[in-house]
Amino acid sequence: MSRLIIYPKEISSITGKNYKSSWHLLLKIKKHFGKDDHQFVTIKEFSNYTGIPEAEVLAKILH
């Protein structure tokens, strides 16, 4: 089963940034896509925003 949502801890693992920086990046992505605070960021949106291929993101967070 494939995951849809990405969390700051996973962004930290992918980017090498600390948790707080990853959380701020997540907020930037939400703003970019016009999401409300209660809405989640999908792996696809993260990939589109950062330019990191979705397959690579999934491989990193699922292993």
Question: Exposed/middle/buried for 41, CB within 10 Å: 0-12, 13-18, 19+?
Answer: buried
| C-alpha to C-alpha distances, 16 to 8, 12, 13, 34, 44, nearest whole angstrom | 11, 5, 6, 26, 19
Give phi and psi for 52, each to the nearest 5: -85, 125
Per-residue confidence in pLDDT tens, the chain, 63 aa: 477 999 999 999 999 999 999 999 999 999 999 999 999 999 999 999 999 999 999 999 988
pTM here is: 0.91
Domain assignments of the chain as residue spans, ordered by start: 8-62
Both tokens of residue 52? 């990191």
